[in-house]
Amino acid sequence: MELEDKIKEIIFGLFGSIIASFGVSLGASFLTTSHTTILLSGLIVGIASSFANAFGPLVLSSQMHSHQTYSRQDFQQAVGSFLLTFVIIGLPLVSYVLISDLGIARIISVITGLVLLFIFGVHQAQLERRYPLSYGFSMALIGAVFAGFFYFLAVLFR
């Protein structure tokens, strides 16, 4: 598989990880005032999503070809993808650590998450030779819809 294809896969996985991580932390922020709980909820979901995105293809490949084993390079790329995704999903969560006002922390978290979705959407569009701004905005819009969904769930179960 070419490097460009691997980058596309990583970015595609980032979309879900970012949305899940900042969405769950946003929902949790309406259910509790504990900054630690909010941060951990986003990190746990983000780590699980990152792990699935990074190592899922290796597991799937080995199941499809029972005699196939992982190469050292495949494993290193999966670990690199996991670490990169972990760092990126942590960015929208930093506000819950640094800012004591929960309302401001939420706003910064959502903005950071949407900006990340936009940036990676633009990059994905460039790799796929699509319209970068349109694709970036559509990814940010999807993130906003999911953030609204998580907010709605938190308010519903409050």
State the average pLDDT over residues 114-133.
93
Are the C-beta atoms of 136 and 121 separated by less than 8 Å? yes
Are the C-beta atoms of 44 and 131 separated by less than 8 Å? no
Half-sphere exposure of 64 (CA within 13 A, CB side): 7
Structure tokens at 150: 């998580």
Element (H, E) at 152: helix 132-157
The model's pLDDT over 24-42, given as tens digits with 9 standing for 90+, comes to 999 999 889 999 999 999 9
Element (H, E) at 158: none
Domain extent for 10: 3-157
Helices (H) and strands (E) counted in the chain, each on its own, are 6, 0
With a threshold of 0.95, does the pTM exceed it?
no
Q: How far apart are CA 127 and CA 92, in angstroms?
A: 25
b/e code 36-51 from CB counts within 10 Å (16+ = b): eebbebbbebbbebbb
Q: How far apart are CA 80 and CA 16, in angstroms?
A: 17
- pLDDT(100) > 90: yes
The model's pLDDT over 75-94, given as tens digits with 9 standing for 90+, comes to 787 788 888 888 999 999 99
Are the C-beta atoms of 138 and 15 separated by less than 8 Å? no
The model's pLDDT over 45-80, given as tens digits with 9 standing for 90+, comes to 988 888 887 777 666 655 555 556 667 777 787 788
Q: Please state, in angstroms and as integers, the Cα–Cα distance from residue 41 to each residue in 20, 21, 48, 53, following that order.
A: 10, 8, 11, 18
What is the total count of domains within the chain?
A: 1
Quick one: pLDDT at residue 53?
Answer: 77
Quick one: pLDDT at residue 60?
Answer: 61
Percent of the chain residues topping a pLDDT of 90:
48
